[in-house]
Amino acid sequence: MAKSRWAFLLMALAGGVTLTALAADEKPREGADDSGTWQSQEMELDKTGYVAFVGPWGTNDPLDYTVAVGKKNPDGSLSTTFAAKLKVAGLPKGFAKRPIGEVVRFDASAQQQVTFALGEQEIRYQLPGR
């Protein structure tokens, strides 16, 4: 069976938003008291100054799962250069609990590509040029 792939090769926009802004539009749904909280894991992407984040929104029957890449700023803050929100129902059973090492791969070659392995699909993001 051929593996379905989603490829997103995006360049960063100047003045990205902070990762904390991802939660700004989230509204908790009834019956799931922590669904507005992103349960993220993070992974440094080699020595690039970028970090990958993955995780579900909430721990009690989460509906959404986000993958993101952020750039560390000199002041210690983080600017989001890429983010995608997915429905947990479209991911393999139990996916929301997988460790980040099973979800994120980083190609440190000249391509500087981050791959988010999401079961039968992938999302790829190329880090912006330096």
Q: Which residues pair with 80 in a beta bridge?
A: 17, 70
Instruction: Report percent pLDDT > 70 for the chain.
Output: 72
* pLDDT for the residue numbered 9: 29
By three-state DSSP, how is residue 69 classified? strand
Question: What global pTM score does this model have?
Answer: 0.72
Long-range CB contacts (within 8 A, 24+) of 47-52: 48/108, 48/112, 48/127, 50/81, 50/114, 50/127, 51/78, 52/100, 52/104, 52/106, 52/114, 52/116
* pLDDT for the residue numbered 60: 76
* pLDDT for the residue numbered 86: 93
Examine the pLDDT at 102 and tell me if it is beyond 90.
Answer: yes
Give the lowest-confidence range in 54-63, 97-106, 117-126.
Answer: 54-63
